[in-house]
């Protein structure tokens, strides 16, 4: 899946005159890689996975692609662990994040 690159010029707001009327993000969802927030990493065990897609439905981000088998987007997954808890087949396990 193609992702837009972050704009070359960082967006700098000087004051009221260039502040937009409402607090709407200007592309930060794309380039703010929330992977850095993770302290645990969910891992899908493909042999156990039944492709029910419950993990994809429950992911709050969403950071799971509804593919066969589902794939976790580790650029954005924040490690909340909901998919681990919700999988009815215990096909997602938790691993410690980090070096």
Which of 8, 9, 12, 17 forms a contact with other proteins (CB under 8 A)? Answer: 17
Site track for other proteins across 37-76, x = CB under 8 A: x---------------------------------------
Does 14 bind other proteins (CB under 8 A)? Our answer is yes
DSSP class of residue 64 equals: E
CB 58 within 8 A of CB 7: no
The separation between CA 10 and the C-alpha centre of its own chain, rounded to angstroms, equals: 22
Q: How far apart are CA 83 and CA 45, in angstroms?
A: 12
Residues that bind other proteins (CB under 8 A): 14-17, 22-23, 36-37, 99
């Amino acid at each position: 899946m193609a992702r837009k690159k972050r704009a070359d010029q960082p967006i700098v707001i000087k004051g009221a005159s260039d502040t937009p009327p409402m607090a709407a993000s200007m592309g930060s969802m794309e380039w703010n890689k929330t992977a850095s927030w993770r302290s645990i990493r969910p891992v899908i065990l493909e042999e156990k996975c039944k492709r029910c897609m419950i993990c994809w439905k429950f992911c709050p981000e969403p950071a799971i692609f509804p593919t066969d088998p589902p794939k976790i987007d580790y650029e954005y997954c924040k490690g909340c662990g909901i998919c681990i808890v919700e999988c009815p087949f215990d096909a997602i396990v938790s691993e410690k994040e980090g070096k």
